[in-house]
Structure 1
């Protein structure tokens, strides 16, 4: 279904009421796709934690509708459709009922656990578009269960799948499906999750048909053209308000997981009229460890940052990002090539998104925020569950604090920016399915960066091992470049992980397959968000409320905010506070 977007501003093709009905119908169809995927999947990481995304596209692979999901996925499903079309020799080679699968990190941009499923949509014999989704499979046969924290090449990470047909004109290719799913340690879950992804595509196809049957194909095409034009015009209008110029920022990941060398991320942004270019020249070359990323995901991350700042309240469509150009030199951490390891491709992307906001913050103060805690902060337990006499694998991304911004404090205990709608794993589910006990879970006091608007708090989550055979995998990041503040705001706390085995205590941020005995405890603490504005400008009453709520303690109230609380009770010494702030502001 091709659409014509070459219309002048204010010259639209369809009446706005019909356009809005169709816009929302397409997004509702995508929401139903997502519900179908979550409700029929086999793995908690999908049905509980929502590590998945879906979309409906036209025949040019331009986005028509999407549900809430991982922004980092949604930003490049269109590229996966285009890549598949190229692989099969052209759009004319699709047939009704076809389904394709892929996970190649250098094509999709993600790690191999992220499985992308694509299906063409036909209507009255005409190819009108595609449905697509991506979901995280627990295991794809790498050297360690789930994924490794010390891989040095992609061949250690699991089965690598280029665009491959798994349904041919509606008929399953069982040999190909078996080949893929039997390469997982959890093959039953893999097959169940694959079937859920196919069902999601079929759900989207059905709803797409219903929309066209109700309104007519030509009306839908005109409405989509109008939607695209609206998105493009809004983008151009917002970019034109940014002063022309060059904006820069840089930061560092702690390391690549196999060495102690920091990994540099550098951003140069050029704004010219209605166009914006994000140039990553100067970022680290491709590294030996796993912080490499395929180009498609790098572009997706730049789109996420763009959308955070440019008209964030409007939904994303195929008309967005027409004025965004991304420059990435070859063989850097943002343009990985064979045989680079890519398991933790998103660590650099989280930092990249924060740095884009930081670079543009002088021009977009009211839209900017201090940096957030920055990474997925993965904790994984694997081993044998004595209750079921079977192996288990629990993979969790942990929440943290987001940066303060012009209007308010940053959010506490929120998932990181690349993961969007990702959820934490409920304690009840975790303790039922795995031989683990959650010993503590709550906000981490004093972890948010001080500011007129405080950074959000990180979390504390503790685990106790209830099996004699367990292994721990950790990937915690951003201790070298923790969440920074803006416009005088303070830096947030760094992440911290402590392992107790009953006889000694060990602090570590990254570890691969560390054996744990029964009774061992692991406590993870994530970082907070950076502050916004000078802390001494924060209202005294808000500082006192934070102390009462346990977000900060008395010492932080004094040293960071200059608020003196009397020794007895929770009363503020107003005059002492004024004197302290006057004497100590810098």
Structure 2
């Protein structure tokens, strides 16, 4: 502990920095034009020191937060840290740099205090449309150029002056020019909020005190990480799984290999053996793989403590070049998160035997996205695009059942769209939204259930795209727990024209068409026959499981 700063000041500074980041995130969500941000919260923010180490974060998408520091370092390597001026702001979305798809825009802004560069703010937010070959996002892209505009770090604000030419260039490449400008403006507002609050913290405590406090915050975080890893037996642990396909080669299951090596207080996550980059869009940039590995690490290692620049110093990640986890031009990256969700679950599976009290069965694993797009007769036949991620079940764990109807792991604080919002904004009716009975992985502690969500189209001009995953490797159980039921999509259910599938690109629908989504459940934990009888009874009463399943799987005899 530093002699210069008391423990009380350290805690005040820690919470002040995180509060500043929360205010950034609120500013972003409240200022945004697109429901992806203001309703679904598809965004994340952070405040960082001059070395790009995280000082404060807000709730957001974990796989966004996990690599904003890398984006700051990429920017500084690209333009030179000495080139930053007060009031500057850069924007980027290149998949091979920031790691995600081009639909996510990252901004980085230097913070100056009394003329000295002292840190950075960073934001990332998903844009509704970035000019891909179809509205919203491509289901069937085969190279990065089909997925929309792509930018390395570009200066958007030069010493406080907005570069209108750059903003116009970006917005004109979207089908929703005004919304694109508004959402980028919201990112700018969030950045300025973070700068203002950080400067206020420095005014209150002084630069030297804040620096000493953050050193102590980092030291504590690193110590806790190392102490936990040191409790694990040294050794090599392994798990693997497969994505259904990349939507290009439908017969090929995309392999994800995960070797975890524990050596003293250090951990290595080695992805050697994972699938080479695919023609379909399940690839991601290296930075995003680092973020996913960090999410998996944090899920097991002190998950209740906030993240800061002191975390992950004892974690190394080995990623084979040219693989799905280190994509190179021109590999498409639109559905980058599918392999990452599987990777996170596999890290937990690999270590389950040595941390059974912290491990959980796999969760449903993917965003389960559906797009609607076309013209809206309720609003003068204006063009619309909606994008929704659908919730599902999480895995059971030692002492508790998995959550039902929860957003997937990579999306964290992400929200699904409320029924009222969907029906008010788009020409679709949500006819059903309920728990999917018997979708859980059975166990002493059962997995959570998926959901059924059904839509009816109310326009003559409509198409959909869907990306559903994890049917080949559905959510698995642990320690005797059962696997969960996998997902699927149905068009025109319960009719002679019924069509079942998982991934569909630009599927044209007529007025009155019905689309029904079935998401997967979470894996179970422990022997189902050991489940408490009262818990089985409650599950039957609540509609989570049927009487038939209770008898067949749980040994229910009443």
Aligned to 1:244: 234
Q: Output the CA distance in 1 between the equivalents of 2:233 and 2:358.
A: 14
The answer to whether structure 1 residue 429 and structure 2 residue 421 are counterparts is yes
Q: Is residue 446 of structure 1 aligned with residue 438 of structure 2?
A: yes
Residues 13 and 225 in structure 1, CA contact (< 8 A), matched pair in contact too: no
CA distance in 2, matches of 1:12, 1:351: 45
Question: Conserved in 2, the CA contact under 8 Å of 1:438 and 1:461?
Answer: yes
Query: What is the distance in 2 between the residues matched to 1:503 and 1:95?
Result: 65
1:531 lines up with 2:524 in the alignment: yes
1:407 Cα shift?
1.3
Shift of 1:503: 5.3
Partner SS, residue 405 of structure 1? coil
Shift of 1:386: 1.1
Deviations 1:54-79 (A, max 9, x none): 00000100000010000000000001
**TM-score when normalising by structure 1:** 0.94
Give the alignment partner of residue 42 of structure 2, picking from 51, 54, 59: 51
Q: In the TM superposition, what are the counterparts of 1:140-219 in structure 2 within 5 Å?
A: 140-219=130-209
Q: Which of 543, 551, 558 lines up with 1:550 in the alignment?
A: 543
Q: 2:73 maps to which residue?
A: 82
Quick check: 1:457 aligned with 2:449? yes
| Paired residues of 2:4 and 2:209 also in contact (CA < 8 A) | no
Cα deviation, 1:159-212, whole Å, max 9, x if unaligned, reads 001000010000111111100111000111000000000000000000001101
- Paired with 2:287 and 2:255, the residues of 1 have a C-alpha distance of 20
Q: Secondary structure at the match of 1:367?
A: coil
**Residue aligning to 2:216:** 226
Select 2:411's aligned residue among 375, 394, 419. Answer: 419
SS in 2 for 1:530: coil
Q: Secondary structure at the match of 1:151?
A: coil
**Cα offset, 1:12, TM superposition:** 6.0
Task: State the secondary structure of the residue aligned to 2:209.
Answer: helix
TM-score (normalised: structure 2): 0.99
Identify which of 399, 405, 408 aligns with 2:391. 399
- Displacement of 1:541 in angstroms is 1.1
Alignment match, 1:582? none
Partner SS, residue 518 of structure 1? coil
| Cα 1:470/1:505, change in 2 over 3 Å | same
Q: 3-state DSSP class of the match of 2:216?
A: helix
Q: Distance in 1 between matches of 2:399 and 2:190?
A: 39
User: For each residue in 1:437-490, what CA deviation from the matched residue of structure 2 results, as whole angstroms up to 9, or x when unmatched?
Assistant: 000001111111000000001011000000000001010000000000000000
For 1:141 and 1:121, the matched residues in 2 are separated by 32
Cα root mean square deviation, aligned: 0.8
**Structure 1 portions without partners, runs of 5+:** 1-9, 566-586
SS in 1 for 2:554: coil
| Stretches of 4+ aligned residues off by more than 6 angstroms | none
2:464 counterpart residue number: 472
- The answer for the alignment partner of 1:28 in structure 2 is 19
Which structure 2 residue ranges, 5 or more long, are not aligned? none
The reply on whether 1:105 has 2:78 as its aligned counterpart is: no
State the distance in 2 between where 1:503 and 1:406 align: 45
* Rg comparison, structure with higher value: 1
Separation (CA, whole Å) in 1 of partners of 2:165 and 2:371: 32
CA contact (8 A) 1:13 1:226 kept: no
Q: Secondary structure at the match of 2:73?
A: helix
- Residue 309 of structure 2 corresponds to which residue in structure 1? 318
What is the CA distance between 1:142 and its match in structure 2?
Answer: 0.7
Distance 1:425 1:79 in 2: 30
Structure 1 residue 132 and structure 2 residue 125: aligned? no
Residue number among 368, 374, 385 corresponding to 1:383 in the alignment: 374
Contact 2:44–2:61 (8 Å) recurs in 1: yes
1:11 Cα deviation from its structure 2 partner: 5.4
- Partner residue, 2:321: 330
Query: Of 458, 478, 492, which aligns to 2:484?
Result: 492
Query: Partner of 2:533 in structure 1?
Result: 540
Check whether the contact 1:46–1:135 (CA below 8 A) recurs between aligned residues: yes
CA contact (8 A) 1:12 1:226 kept: no
